[in-house]
């Protein structure tokens, strides 16, 4: 597929983008998830090749050097994340559109590269307090990682205006339905 499309979901950690992307993947939408690479450790039930390709720091850096990434970011200090060229090509070759769950800077980077072929969606929690509550309730981060994510969330919020679309994730069902409609319109448009 030469003119495959990209659907990019970005947001500060804890806003609900993974929840919304997982919902879309369960519905009748011709999309496939771009599994990113990272050097962070798996958490909970995360599986290699499903949630992420979990790499050592050395492996990650070697892929940067060999230009294996379409984009990559040091999202948090010493925590690297990146989109592999092979992943996107594989999904387009399958006749599907690619859906991304990536950080705000990575999302804007892809939008800049692909222009109208990309729909960039910013998921916004109703407030920073709500975001903090959700992140704490998710119970996946130790204190240091939680603080790192909350520190970054405030500055990331300021990027919302550069996205094609902002979805406020207050009531989850409403946010999921809105995401579904917009993605279907984009794919069919
Ligand atoms: P992100 O991928 O942006 O880091 P998650 O999808 O992991 O965020 O969501 C963070 C937490 O908030 C999860 O525990 C999720 O179940 C919960 N959550 C997501 N959306 C809502 C919502 N609208 N109302 C209440 N809790 C939510
Ligand atoms: P987490 O550790 O919670 O899974 O992800 C942390 C942040 O990294 C999230 O904002 C997530 O969207 C982002 N992220 C995941 N994969 C990628 C990627 O391939 N590139 C970029 N730039 N960010 C990513």
CA distance 73 to 142: 22
For residue 11, give the CATH number of its domain. Answer: 3.40.50.300
Answer yes or no: is 1 within a domain.
Answer: no
The pLDDT of residue 70 is: 97
**Which ligand 2 atom lies nearest to the CA of residue 13?**
10
Minimum CA distance residue for ligand 2 atom 20: 82
pLDDT averaged over 10-residue windows placed end to end, the chain, 189 residues: 88 96 96 98 94 98 98 95 97 97 97 98 96 94 92 94 98 98 96
CA distance 22 to 76: 23
Find the 3 Cα to ligand 1 centroid distance in Å. Answer: 32
DSSP type of residue 60: H
> Ligand 1 in contact with 12 (CB < 6 A)?
no
The pLDDT of residue 1 is: 53
Minimum CA distance residue for ligand 1 atom 24: 172
Q: Which helix (H) or strand (E) holds 187?
A: helix 172-188
Percentage of the chain with pLDDT > 90? 96
- State the residue range of the domain holding 83: 6-188
The torsion angle over the Cα atoms of residues 63, 64, 66 and 70, rounded to 10 degrees, is: 100
Domain total in the chain: 1
Answer yes or no: is 173 within a domain.
Answer: yes
> Ligand 2 in contact with 120 (CB < 6 A)?
no
The pLDDT of residue 2 is: 59
């Amino acid at each position: 597929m030469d003119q495959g499309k990209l659907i990019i979901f970005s947001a500060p950690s804890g806003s609900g983008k993974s929840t919304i992307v997982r919902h879309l993947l369960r519905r009748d939408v011709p999309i496939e998830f771009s599994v990113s690479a990272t050097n962070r450790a798996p958490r909970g039930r995360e599986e290699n090749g499903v949630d992420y390709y979990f790499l050592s720091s050395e492996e990650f850096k070697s892929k940067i050097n060999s230009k294996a990434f379409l984009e990559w970011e040091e999202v948090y200090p010493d925590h690297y994340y990146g989109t592999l060229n092979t992943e996107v090509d594989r999904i387009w070759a399958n006749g599907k559109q690619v859906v991304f769950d990536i950080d705000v800077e990575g999302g804007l980077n892809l939008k800049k590269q692909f222009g109208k072929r990309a729909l960039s969606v910013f998921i916004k929690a109703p407030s920073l307090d709500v975001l903090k509550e959700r992140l704490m309730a998710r119970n996946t981060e130790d204190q240091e990682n939680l603080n790192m994510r909350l520190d970054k969330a405030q500055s990331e919020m300021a990027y919302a205006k550069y996205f094609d679309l902002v979805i406020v994730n207050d009531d989850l069902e409403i946010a999921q339905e809105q995401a579904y409609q917009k993605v279907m319109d984009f794919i069919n448009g």
